[in-house]
Amino acid sequence: MSRFLLSIVPLVLVYALVLASTHPWDVAIGAALAGALLWGTRGFLFGGSPAPVAGAAGRLVAFFPFAAATLLDVLRGTRDVALVVLHLRPLHHPGIVAVPIGERTPLGVAVTALVDTLSPGSCLVDVDWERRTMLLHVIDASDPDAIRAAHDRFYRRYQRRVFP
């Protein structure tokens, strides 16, 4: 329950920033909306997640390196796609690569899919829950093992502490 209540605070803060208002009624409405949103998604967000309540501060701190690594990944993908589009780099082996889900929770899979899709040059095609793999279309699938290793490294180094 305290994890639920602790999650309301950043949502209310974002709501107040979007409205540019800290009027008590706006804060109360934001808290009600945040509570309803969290209550409606509680099974997805909080069910089976290995991160303890005491780790909320650690997750917040770990979010900043995760966001920076995601931004760097987006910039690299933008560069790679721009080089192909401008015909400065040939397009040899686009294709689909199966990346193991590993120890990711459903929330972790969703975040991985979002990060991959944000970066130009890669896109989630499907999640095969039976085989526990994510199918990603990448602009250069010439070395699938390197792509799988890069995804595993990103997850272990940046994402796991924030979105397991």
Q: What is the 3-state secondary structure (H, E, C) of 44-100?
A: HHHCCCCCCHHHHHHHHHHHHHHHHHHHHHHHHHHHHHHHHHCCCCCCCCCEEEEEE
Would you say 133 and 99 are in contact if contact means Cβ atoms under 8 Å apart?
yes
- How many C-beta neighbours within 10 Å does residue 66 have? 20
- The residue ranges of every structural domain in the chain are 2-46, 59-159
108 Cβ contact partners less than 8 Å away, ≥ 6 residues apart: 155, 159, 160, 163, 164
pLDDT tens, 14-54?
Answer: 888 888 888 999 889 988 888 887 776 666 565 544 444 34
Higher-confidence position of 42 and 138 = 138
Per the listing, tokens 């990448």 go with: 138
Q: How confident is the model at residue 1 (pLDDT cuts 50, 70, 90)?
A: low
- Residue 143: the pLDDT is 93
The pTM (predicted TM-score) of the whole model is 0.64
How far is the C-alpha of 164 from the C-alpha of 155, rounded, in Å? 8
